A and B are shown apart, each in its own frame.
Chain A
Amino acid sequence: MADQIESELLRGSMDLMVLSVLAQSPKYGYLLQKALSDNSQQQIKLSAGTMYPLLHRLEEAGLVSSRWDESTGRRRKWYELTAKGRKKLVKQAELWQQYANCINRLLTEIKLVIPTPATQG
């Protein structure tokens, strides 16, 4: 398996990933990026250039809210999941599970059809 999950697959699920990381606690951009990387055992690296427009888009859609805060010693823009965002996350997570299960089943069948070198030998 590749070190990093393929980008095409990534793109479709980025919203979901960002929402899920924000569901744990409010975060500013840099922290979110690190959390995402840590939570995925470094398999997912969301570039800053992708992440910030994405955050702004989620905010626009009302799924996250933001505020500037200096209480951590540095002025940063913190993002937080809204109630709407939480709902969306739950729904999307379900869909994703179904999708993943479906793909899993398909792949299992492929394994059965295509003989592996081990069974040949």
Chain B
Amino acid sequence: MSEREFEHYLTLLGSMLRLRPEQRAEIAEELQQHLDERLQDLQAAGLSREDAIQQALAEFGDAAGLAAQFSSVSRRRYRRWMMRAATASVTSAFMVLVLFVSFWPTGGRIELALPTTAQDTNPPASESPVASVDPFTTEADLPTTKTKSTSTSREAKNADTRIQLETTAAFEMQEASLSDLSSMLAERLQHGCLLDHRRMEEEGVDRESGNLNWNLTNASLGTMLETLLDEMQLTYQIRDGILVITSQSAADDDLSLVIYDAEVLFSSVVVVVRNESNPVEEMLLQLVQQSSDLGKIELDSLQASIDRLSEKFGSQQARMRFNQVADLIETQVDPNSWEVNGGVASISSVGNRLIVRQTERTHRKIRKLLDDLAATNGL
């Protein structure tokens, strides 16, 4: 009989503690000290070493009960993270929503989106001074957003979550574990948050692990997540609107297809003609309707603008720009992941759309790149 019994006990206890390794070690050391001193005292009082060990351990009670008590203390601690949404986050959420809605398909065969800057809170289209600035030639006010999504309900949910991740808020988090982060997100995201336990465990990451600290007040939820998760070789994916935290290696095996309507990059006005039947007339009609408030549109000048526009979209130049964007993405965003460089991801284009098969993490980077390009009038 030896003090190995203590070690066994403490190891057993440690294995049941749902805490971070440092905390387990600290508790183990504290209890070890106690057991050692108790052992000395009991022996000094005349007990045999064996009896003393047994008694010292008995006084602690069963390891499982003790572990449960420690863990419950610790859970309370982690819940103390605080999050205060800054006033700005409400505003920016609204902005993003406005921008997003403005690019939502309108149901007709013709989609028209007018210049919208980040400062412009007016809903675009109907109220914008269309005719007075002649949008077809104005390139100064490129839209700051956004690649448009198709409007399936799943995609709409995903978009909800993405928008919520873009909100800027002041967060404070101290020594939070992954499950704390997850419950914080679950409260904050409309469609919820899950931890992909199985994939995380394959990577040796436990839900109670993590020592997540955050106190930047100007970052978006998405930035915070990327940063915190990256430290632990984790990342997130969005499935049916649900934010799923998983391991990077699992996510890397999971390619998803995203169609980017990249034409927002090329013009301050986006006109997608989906049906060849009389597009000019329909455009004309729509423009007249939209500018009727102004009352002084000359049909000739409209016709001329539309001609110029059609020419532009028909031109070889537009094609070249798409290729440029594809090249740019392949060289600037995770270069080694692309087929051309020996990876598995691929990029191709159909009409004015880029079809990209990539991991979600890389998709996020692509989105950011396209947004940045649009915002800086880069093309």
Contacts and interface: CB of A to CB of B under 8 A. Distances in A.
Interface of A: 28-30, 47-50, 52-53, 56-57, 60, 74-77
B257 interface: no
Give the top 6 A-B pairs by smallest Cβ distance, nearest first: A49-B61, A53-B69, A49-B60, A56-B73, A57-B73, A30-B37
A60 B29 CA distance: 19
Contacts of B33: 28-30, 74-77
Given A30-B38, A48-B34, A48-B59, A53 B66 contact: yes
Interface residues of B, number: 21
A48 B37 CA distance: 12
B76 interface: yes
A77 B60 contact: no
Interface of B: 26-27, 29-31, 33-34, 37-38, 59-61, 65-66, 69-70, 72-74, 76-77
Interface centre among B30, B37, B59, B77 (most CB of A within 10 A): B30
A47 B76 contact: no
Contacts of A50: 61, 69
A30 B34 contact: yes
| Majority secondary structure, A binding face | helix
Nearest to A56: B73
Which of A30, A49, A52: most chain B CB closer than 10 A? A49
Nearest to A77: B30
Chain B interface mostly helix, strand, loop or mixed? helix
A74 to B, nearest CB: 7
A78 to B, nearest CB: 11
A47 B77 contact: no
Contacts of B76: 57, 60
A53 B34 contact: no
B73 A29 contact: no
Contacts of A30: 33-34, 37-38
Contacts of B38: 30, 48
Contacts, number: 52
B70 A56 contact: yes
Contacts of A47: 59-61
Contacts of B74: 56
A49 B59 contact: yes
A53 B70 contact: yes
A15 to B, nearest CB: 13
Contacts of B59: 47-49
21 contacts: A29-B34, A30-B33, A30-B34, A30-B37, A47-B59, A47-B60, A48-B34, A48-B59, A48-B60, A49-B60, A52-B27, A52-B70, A53-B70, A53-B73, A57-B76, A60-B76, A60-B77, A74-B33, A76-B33, A77-B26, A77-B33
Given A49-B60, A53-B70, A53-B72, 4 more contacts: A47-B60, A60-B73, A60-B77, A77-B29
A52 B61 CA distance: 12
Contacts of B65: 49
Contacts of B30: 29, 52, 77
Contact of A52 (B31, B37, B72, B77): B31
A50 B31 CA distance: 12
A116 B61 CA distance: 42
A52 B77 CA distance: 15
A13 B340 CA distance: 71
A50 B74 CA distance: 15
Contacts of B70: 52-53, 56
Nearest to B78: A60
